[in-house]
Amino acid sequence: MPHIPSILTHFSPELILVVGMLLVLTYDLWVRGREGLQANLAIITTVLALVATLVLWVTMPGSHPVFEACGPGAKAGTCRPGAFISDDFTHFFRVLGLLGTLLVLISGQTYMRGRTAFKGEFYALVLSAVLAMNLMAGANDLIVIALAIEFLSITSYILTAFLRHDGLSIEGGLKYFLYGSITSAAMLFGMSYLLGIGGSTSVPALAAIARNPELAQVQGYANIMLPALALVLAGIAFKIALVPFHQWSPDAYQAAPTPVTAFLSVGPKAAGFAVLIRLFVGSFSSLSASWLGTMGLLCLLSMVVGNVAALTQGNVKRMMAYSSIAQAGYMLLGVVSLGGKTLMGLDSVGAVLFFILTYVFTNLGAFAVIIAVEQATGSAELGAYRGLMRRSPLLAVSLVVFFLSLVGVPPLAGFVAKFAVFGAAVTGGQVPLAVVGVLTGVVSVVYYFGVVREMFFGASEEGQPGPIRVGMGTTFVVLVALLMTLVVGLWPEPFITLANNVAHSIAPALQAAGGH
Amino acid sequence: MSVPPGHFMALSAILFSIGVLGVLLRRNVIIVLMSVELMLNAVNLTWIAAGRALGDIDSHIFVFFSLTVAAAEVAVGLALVVAIYRSLGRTDVDDISMLNG
Amino acid sequence: MNPEMAFFYAVALLMIATAFGMVLARDMVHGVLFMVGNFVLTAVLYLLLNAPFIAAVQLIVYAGAIMVLFLFVVMLLGAQDLSLSEPAGGRRIIGVAAVLILGSLLTFVVKEGLPAGTAAGLAEERLPTLAAFGREGVEDPQSGAAFGSPQMVGEALYREPYHIVPFELVSLLLLVAMMGAVVIASFGKGGVAAAGPEQRPGEDSA
């Protein structure tokens, strides 16, 4: 088989993850669930996969389909493009997913200690979730997209319900599961109509049909296209947690072990946007009449509901759930601003990628603080943050910086990201949505400030609790996130160039969208 | 082929809707899960019907995988049901409200 | 009406009836049995659609394994305890209305959009297969295997590397689901709901 080498190179990050996952499980069997090196093994695996991705990205840029079908089974002598494609876009999301997981693993290294007897399973599941995210980033076929999303979903349900002795954790997992299985059924239903229209499960083949001008002449095609795309969108919107497919998210975020919450708030969101952009912007941009309206509605609802519902939350993990719903709404704003241009020639997709990049670091920084506070106080309620400034100035000040970045205050990374997205929205013909975005952004100041007020001005009733000892892992993650938040905010040029290059790797479709 | 594929697709649309009805109406988690399985089953029927109409064998492969996914999903879902029954003694959706949603 | 059409309508009506029976079942075990009926009837339709392999898999996996799992859990938790309470009135009306809208919309879409099903003919390489559309038993031009036969499915699945990713992914998915079921539902390690998250000797010595 001539394809083996391409599998070994362009698929190597995924292979490393599989091997690492199986190693963690085997090691766990060997130490019989005792405390051991499971977390370290998972971290090493993630680092290796990250290095492999970076090496691939630098040495072999460009688009490399893996698992092409040119063999005797190929129909009519044509090659089918690979079921998985390893291009700059895939690399970008691979790096984000792996880096995000690495930060979560480091900051949550000690969290699971003493909380579960299934340590090996926990880290194996985290690694398989990353694997699923990588596959979503490069999926080039409806079968792979559907399976990768299902794989990530099922892994996430288990991780959410992992603390099975805690009724809350099981309940969050069950809610997540129920919403997830319903929306995934809807997504598969939509995909079956796409097959009916396009006659293929391959994304490039579907894109070719979508660009075929004769399609518009087929009577009734719009009737079937609209629900097909809406149903597929529902499945992806569930993974991203967009309103109205968000009901699971506050419960799952609150109930899950906090490192898992941190992971859920970035991993599935980034991977979901990878699929969303590749499928809708990259392939179906010529059909934007069938999906732009639906997506705009999701964007509007997410920004409004996310920011307003966050106002009344007394639990910081729940608040972060609504806050991340709102942030996903801002990301979606960039997706719907087809053809928009913003600062330094960044196009709308580039703006989304840049936003996701800053969001991953800012949000994980905030969650590193939340994990540390929960480990010290045993709670994620607002009251646990009382007097944090006195107990641990590092945690308190960094949390303020992360919140300011999430609000979008200059000169932090979040400001540049929001500016880019709103700029794209204004030039891309989504002015009303941009206005709503700015207004809801102002609302978001209120709930972030609620936490800040507790940290700085909250009077402690039960005497003077001592200072919080911050672990090495947490310090490392907080500092990395702080550094990125400041650097991307002050010198955004290299990151904008990066985002733009990545966005151009799915360029043919975008140019078609610009002329649309 | 004497039965047009549209008939199969319409049938599966109806079955899918009945599944949605079950999800919306019933409060017992196990029945809700069964309704989800009904929806997935309807989806598979659409895939096979579309694949038959287009002469596309990939639809069969999709359904083959989708069946496996459904099995995995049911295993996890029923494990969650068992766990929630142990902690609450019931399996009604409305009773599951420790989290203020 | 020819016999095949009549047969299809008979099966379709039975399927809708069993689906309603399942959704509205008052007894859990009845619900599961209605569902088995529905899945077996689906397998019959697969045979009608030239998909004998999928029909067999449907019987083994859906009507076999999944249903046994459901029945097992129903019996484990005690079928008597799971009284099926009636849904609240307002919610029932909303549900029925939503489903009526959804159902008629989807049926309309399929009926009106049916020509779009043939839009696949736009892809040049699809045109020959589309021409064969309507003929009994489309055949694979290379191997001569009948459409949907185990041979054709097997060749499409294994003869080219295209489906390696989903195939391997599914095997990992089953491993993950097994781990998940063990972690979430296992009785062992002294832990039912009563046990707290605190350390138990011999397990978690930090």
pLDDT digits (tens, 9 = 90+) for A400-413: 999 999 999 888 99
**Higher pLDDT, residue A437 or B92:** A437
**Higher pLDDT, residue A212 or A395:** A395
Residue C199 lies in a domain: no
Residue B34 lies in a domain: yes
Question: Which residues in chain C are contacts of A163 at CB distance < 8 A?
Answer: 197
User: How confident is the model at residue C104, as a pLDDT?
Assistant: 73
The domain that holds C25 is classified in CATH as 1.20.120.1200
Partner residue facing B63 (CB), from C35, C54, C76: C54
Q: Mark whether C2 and C78 lie in a shared domain.
A: yes
Element at B15 (helix H, strand E): helix B5-25
- The strand pairing partners of A223, in sequence order, are none
Question: Which residues in chain A are contacts of B53 at CB distance < 8 A?
Answer: 196
Per 3-state DSSP, chain A is made up of helix, strand and coil in percentages (nearest 5) of: 75, 5, 20
The domain that holds B38 is classified in CATH as 1.10.287.3510
Q: How far is CA C198 from CA A122, A253, A356, C192, in A?
A: 17, 22, 38, 13
Question: C162 CA to chain A: closest CA distance, Å?
Answer: 5
All partners of chain B with 3 or more CB pairs under 8 angstroms: A, C
Q: Do B73 and A172 touch (CB under 8 A)?
A: no
| Average pLDDT estimate for C28-39 | 91
| Average pLDDT estimate for A209-227 | 73
CA distance A409 to A400: 11
Token pair, residue C152, equals 């054709």
Q: 3-class secondary structure for A489-513?
A: HHCCHHHHHHHHHHHHCCHHHHHHH
| Average pLDDT of chain A to the nearest whole number | 87
Q: Do A154 and B72 touch (CB under 8 A)?
A: yes
Residue B21 lies in a domain: no
CA distance A293 to A301: 12
Residue C108 lies in a domain: no
Q: Mark whether C4 and C78 lie in a shared domain.
A: yes
CA distance B32 to B78: 11
| Average pLDDT estimate for B11-30 | 86
User: How confident is the model at residue C116, as a pLDDT?
Assistant: 41
Per 3-state DSSP, chain C is made up of helix, strand and coil in percentages (nearest 5) of: 70, 0, 30
Global pTM value? 0.90
Residue C48 lies in a domain: yes
What is the span of the domain harbouring residue C169?
143-187
C106 pLDDT above the threshold of 90: no
User: How confident is the model at residue C44, as a pLDDT?
Assistant: 94
The residue among C83, C108, C134 that closes a domain is C83
Question: B2 CA to chain A: closest CA distance, Å?
Answer: 19
Q: Do C109 and B13 touch (CB under 8 A)?
A: yes
Element at A449 (helix H, strand E): helix A431-457
What is the span of the domain harbouring residue B69?
28-93
**Chain B 57-76, CB below 8 Å of chain A: which residues?**
58-59, 61-62, 65-66, 69, 72-73, 76
User: How confident is the model at residue B96, as a pLDDT?
Assistant: 61
User: How confident is the model at residue C55, as a pLDDT?
Assistant: 93
* Residues C143-162: tens digit of each pLDDT: 556 777 888 888 888 877 78
C141 pLDDT above the threshold of 80: no
C-beta separation of A302 from A328 below 8 A: yes
User: How confident is the model at residue A516, as a pLDDT?
Assistant: 37
Residue C99 lies in a domain: no
Q: Do A201 and B51 touch (CB under 8 A)?
A: no
| Average pLDDT estimate for A10-15 | 90
Residue B5 lies in a domain: no
Residue B12 lies in a domain: no
> For chain C, what is the radius of gyration of the CA atoms?
24
* Complete DSSP assignment for A159-214: HHT--TTSHHHHHHHHHHHHHHHHHHHHHHHHHHHHHHHHS-SBHHHHHHHHH-GG
**Higher pLDDT, residue A66 or A326:** A326
Query: Comparing A93-107, B81-95, C97-111, which segment has the lowest mean pLDDT?
Result: C97-111
A183 pLDDT above the threshold of 70: yes
A297 pLDDT above the threshold of 60: yes
Question: Which residues in chain B are contacts of C12 at CB distance < 8 A?
Answer: 7, 11
Residue C15 lies in a domain: yes
Q: How many domains does chain B have?
A: 1
Sign of the alpha-carbon dihedral angle for A162, A163, A167, A168? negative
B vs C: CB pairs below 8 A: 241
Question: Which residues in chain C are contacts of A144 at CB distance < 8 A?
Answer: 165-166, 169
Residue B11 lies in a domain: no
CA distance A254 to A264: 11
Q: 3-class secondary structure for A353-414?
A: HHHHHHHHHHHHHHHHHHHHHHHHHCCCEHHHHCCHHHHCHHHHHHHHHHHHHHHCCCCCHH
Q: Closest-CA residue in chain A for C130?
A: A199
Residue A380, φ and ψ in degrees, nearest 5: -115, 15
Residue C118 lies in a domain: no
Question: Which residues in chain C are contacts of A120 at CB distance < 8 A?
Answer: none
User: How confident is the model at residue A322, as a pLDDT?
Assistant: 95
Annotate A47-82 with b (16+ C-beta within 10 A) or e (fewer).
bbbbebbeebbeeeeeebbbbbbeeebbbeeeebbb
B41 pLDDT above the threshold of 50: yes
Question: Which residues in chain B are contacts of A313 at CB distance < 8 A?
Answer: none
Element at A65 (helix H, strand E): strand A64-66
| Average pLDDT estimate for C123-136 | 37
With cut-offs at 50, 70 and 90, classify the pLDDT of residue B94.
Answer: low
C94 pLDDT above the threshold of 80: no
Instruction: Identify from A170, A176, A184 which residue to disrupt to test chain B contact, counting B C-beta atoms within 10 A and taking the largest count.
Output: A170
User: What single DSSP character describes residue A219?
Assistant: T
| Average pLDDT estimate for A138-155 | 93
Q: Closest-CA residue in chain A for B66?
A: A147
| Average pLDDT estimate for A126-150 | 94
Among candidate residues A401, A381, A371, A400, the one with its CA nearest the CA of residue A468:
A371
Q: Mark whether C77 and C1 lie in a shared domain.
A: yes
A345 pLDDT above the threshold of 70: yes
CA dihedral C60, C62, C68, C70 (to 10 degrees): 170
B95 pLDDT above the threshold of 80: no
Q: Mark whether C6 and C78 lie in a shared domain.
A: yes
**Higher pLDDT, residue A64 or A160:** A160
With cut-offs at 50, 70 and 90, classify the pLDDT of residue C202.
Answer: very low
Q: How many domains does chain C have?
A: 2
CA distance A337 to A352: 10
Question: C185 CA to chain A: closest CA distance, Å?
Answer: 8
